[in-house]
Amino acid sequence: MSPEESYDVIVIGAGPAGSTAAKYAATNGASVLLIDKKKNIGTPIQCGGFLPCYEELQELLPRARLPSTLMDIPKNCIHTSTRIHRFISPNLEPKEFEVEANVLDRSRFDKYLVKKAVKAGCDMLVGTRADSIKGDTVSLKGLFGEFDITTKVIIGADGPNSLVARHSGLIERSDDMGRAVALEYELTGADIDKDAVEMYFGRDYAPAGYGWIISQGGDTANIGVGLRRPLCEPGVSVRDYLHRFMYEHPRASPRFKDARITAVISGIVPVGGAPPQTVAGNMIICGDAAGHLIATNGGGIPTAAVGGKIAGETAYDAVSGTCDLMQYDSRWREQMGLEIKTSVYVKRLMDGLMRSDQMMSTSMKMLTTDQMKALQRGRLPDMVKKMLQSLNTGI
């Protein structure tokens, strides 16, 4: 297709943040063009699909006005459902609490979100990337040719290596401590607990991060690690850590002796929090591009969707003259800024403990299941804060 010469809003990136932004801008009446460099939306998959149920999300982000797309998820977009979150300490002691959640088929879910945006009235170009941005002109290049499109608002939902974020100066350089690397295998033939999501801690397997096992239903599962390179052993790759976890961990490895790898999933996870500003001129960023993520668990789908909704609504308000685009920054921070900021602080406290397997095991033993769930959500009760600070001082 050939796009129009001008749009009110151009959204770059068609993940949960971008598709949601396009949907809400178009629903309110803006002319919107949504583009994505992928030829097939949702592939390759770059992250897992764990998503707490709607009621859990309301507790996770109590001030956010959640988009409807997080409530009414088609059954064909869900691999399976889980109800338990289980933490395994470095000394192999488990602690668990209830979390009702769905494990999404990310390829189908991302396509579902794009269809919602298109049905709302936006135009869509797949296999197309933003080649350059000059003022109100975006140069596009891809499967359908090369175009210069003028626009009033540019929404960057183009991931942790966002062109929009870099071009606008909102993010100047990469911070390796604020970026985790996630590597995951999809397996068949696994012997796992189908009701539980398991998170494993220990320096030998995921330094300053965690390993995970997530059922996809039946004997299919995801096994992965998320870690930060500056804290890894010299010469040990992310793949090495995943193989240690899958083949050598005393509790996890027996489950995978007959398993076979059917897919490899990898991506960058921005765990360093949001930049000081997320608006510059006619450009705004949301989702991973803006650090919209709960750092303590690496979950970014709900925060991306909320950020996208606010971005789309604010873009429409700005082009219709009812608000200044700068209001986007205060709007998203009002709805989920505290949760994102607190999760980064909690993660930094936990980083100190994770330098010692003994201290990490001790802290997990001392925490109640309610306290553990609060930390996993990125919250920090005063009593837990004092305990963690005391343990960190003792390292």
Same-domain check for residues 19 and 133: yes
Q: Helix, strand or coil for residue 317?
A: helix
Pair 66, 86 in one domain: no
Domain annotation covers residue 354: yes
Q: Are residues 144 and 266 in the same domain?
A: no
Instruction: Taking the CA atoms of 262, 267, 272 and 274 in sequence, report the sign of the dihedral they define.
Output: negative
Number of domains in the chain: 3
pLDDT in tens, 276-332: 999 999 999 999 999 999 988 888 999 999 999 999 999 999 999 999 999 999 999
Task: Give the global pTM.
Answer: 0.93
Band (pLDDT 50/70/90 cuts) for residue 174 is: low
Q: Tell me, what CATH number does 20's domain have?
A: 3.50.50.60
- Strand residues in 50-189 grouped as ranges (E): 50-52, 78-88, 94-104, 123-125, 128-134, 137-142, 145-156, 179-188
In angstroms and rounded to an integer, the radius of gyration of the C-alpha atoms of the chain is: 21
Taking only the tens place, the pLDDT of each residue in 63-117 is: 999 999 998 899 999 999 999 999 999 999 999 999 999 999 999 999 999 999 9
Average pLDDT over residues 179-196: 93
The verdict on 250 and 296 lying in the same domain is no
Residue 66 maps to a domain: yes
Is residue 1 situated within a structural domain? Answer: no
User: Which pair of structure tokens corresponds to residue 134?
Assistant: 């000059």
Q: For residues 239 and 380, state if they share a domain.
A: no
Examine the domain organization and report whether 280 and 331 are in the same domain: yes
Q: Which of 211, 245, 270 is the last residue of a domain?
A: 270
Q: Contact 120/9 with Cβ under 8 angstroms? A: no
Q: Are residues 357 and 263 in the same domain?
A: no
Cβ-count burial of 36 within 10 angstroms (0-12 exposed, 13-18 middle, 19+ buried)? buried
Provide, rounded to the nearest whole percent, the portion of the chain with pLDDT above 90. 73
pLDDT score at 395: 47
Residue 230, in any domain of the structure: yes
User: What is the predicted pLDDT for the residue at 393?
Assistant: 62
| Cβ atoms within 10 Å, residue 177 | 14
Whether residues 244 and 286 fall in one domain = no
Return d(Cα 287, Cα 11) in angstroms, integer. 12
pLDDT at 172 over 90: no
Together in a domain, 257 and 188: yes
Check whether residue 27 and residue 127 sit in a common domain: yes
User: What's the CATH number where 94 sits?
Assistant: 3.30.9.10
The residue segments making up the domain with residue 368 are: 349-393
Q: Strands 32-35 and 123-125: what pairing? A: parallel
> Which residue among 253, 270, 287 closes a domain?
270
Q: Select from 270, 304, 320 the last residue of a domain.
A: 270
Q: In terms of domains, do 263 and 381 share one?
A: no
Residues 192, 295 within the same domain: no
